[in-house]
Amino acid sequence: MHSTPAELLPPRSVPRIGGVACIVLALLCFGALDTTSKFVATAAAPVLMALWVRYVVQTVATAAMLLPQQGLRLLKSERPGLQALRALLLVTCNGIGFIALGRMHVGEFTAIVMLTPLLLTVIAAFGMGERVSWLRWACIAGGFVGTLVVLRPGREMFTPVLLLPLLLVAANLGFQVLTSQLARVDQPGTIHLYSGLGGLAVTSVSLPFVWQAVPPTIWWGMGLMGVFGAAGHFLLIMAYARAPVAVLTPYLYLQIFFGAIGGWLVFAHVPDEWSMLGIAIIVFCGVCGTWLTGREILRGERTPDAQSSLVAQAAADEH
């Protein structure tokens, strides 16, 4: 989950290949983040301890890269209360995602989480009064069908734990709404820094109660979670500074591919035929939905509030 204010959208004359390259690399980092998180989670590392290490790395990396350039301006936020609430929701999303990855395969988990951009269209329709075409409603319905195909509630291996990604999507929606609001008043670096600082503050309070000795390999895994998370978000900021949101958003679904590749390489898991079908449906409906939304933006058919909802759609990966 990441954010870019509409003011950063470059004119059409700016070459877009750099933005596309940055977002593909960012999604590769997020796929590696999910795979590493599953490795750490399956080793039964305490969730809050793992998140604390991630936030330490993310916050230090963000401050080291941005403070020399922006100085104390980086700490200035127009809505500190919203920043704190957003950070709390981020910890919630990260915690649910970590627990779910300990019990699910990476590809299937990522596919379900990528329902978030589709559901943001529902919020835009009922919360912002945005007109949603029947084609976009069809994409939303198709995304739910794909999710049911992946989960298959009636199958023998189904357990309530498999519903955790849907709980994450619900928390993620609130996170995206706040991201959209903050993107109008604060710089991306400020939002990113406060994400790390807020998460670090929350997890630090609980750290004395959850701390336990873990093997060196798990320490390396938790450290890599922070590295992949920080690198992915920096690359995402660079991507949206080089190409329009409408152009880049459909590429977000590459994260499902990278997550599935990570699950295959590290855990030797290949989704079965039904899961592959469900993932394909979610990807198809998601790409079509974001393409339709992007086309409306490029044609100037949407209001600034509606455009900001697509900005928030670009933030669906920070879990």
Query: What mean pLDDT is predicted for residues 127-144?
Result: 80
Q: Are 210 and 49 in contact (CB under 8 A)?
A: yes
Domain boundaries, given as residue ranges, for the chain: 6-313
Q: Are 91 and 199 in contact (CB under 8 A)?
A: yes
> How confident is the prediction for the chain on average, in pLDDT?
80
DSSP state of 157: T
What tokens appear for 263 in the block? 């699950």
pLDDT at residue 37 in the model = 93
Lowest mean pLDDT among 5-9, 136-140, 206-210, 311-315: 5-9
Token look-up 């409306």 returns 296
pLDDT grade for 2, boundaries at 50, 70 and 90: very low
pLDDT grade for 227, boundaries at 50, 70 and 90: very high
- Tell me: the pLDDT tens digits for 236-273? 877 877 777 667 777 888 888 888 899 899 988 888 88
The Cα 267–Cα 103 span in angstroms is 13
Instruction: Kindly tell me if the per-residue pLDDT of 7 is higher than 70.
Output: no
pLDDT at residue 10 in the model = 43
- Tell me: the pLDDT tens digits for 67-77? 888 888 888 88
Sequence-distant (6+) residues with CB within 8 A of 114 are: 252, 253, 255, 256, 282, 283, 286, 316
